[in-house]
Amino acid sequence: MLFTRETFGQLPDDMDLPIKELIESANIDPTVKGGLSWPPGKECIGDRFLVGAVWHDKYKVFKGPTMTLKLRYADRNDFTNSKKRVVVKEVVVKMTEITKQLKDGKVPGNEAVNRMFEEQVKLVWEKLLINHNRLSP
């Protein structure tokens, strides 16, 4: 991701090479925060470009006929803020069938929506949380 103080419609040609050099000088290093490091003096290009943060996100997506479950683990390191590290563990549940029926106007009232919601939460509880607890030490 590139952040600039200026607004560009298209990245000027004189920026392509320095940005490419900055990216190519990165080393994959699982022993450092964020998993990327730069050789001394290569973490910036002149006064114009420097590495401000490194993000490493891992996703797993599970799709079923009535819902989508997305698990995300993000390891972010902000070098502009005293090397602050942020780890995010996130679960997103999309109840696709309920959403589809609501958009199509096929759900007759709140009671049916509540029942469908309860069924979806019960499914997540039984299949994910209970099984996870059995596998945990």
Q: In this model, does residue 37 exceed pLDDT 50?
A: yes
pLDDT tens-digit map of 85-95: 777 888 888 88
Spatial separation of the C-alpha atoms in residues 125 and 135, rounded to whole Å: 14
From the list 46, 52, 113, the residue with the least C-alpha distance to 81 is 52
| Alpha helices (H) in 8-109, listed in sequence order | 13-24, 96-104
Question: Whole-model pTM?
Answer: 0.54
Closest C-alpha to 33, from 1, 74, 72: 74
**6 CB-contact burial (10 Å; exposed 0-12 / middle 13-18 / buried 19+):** exposed
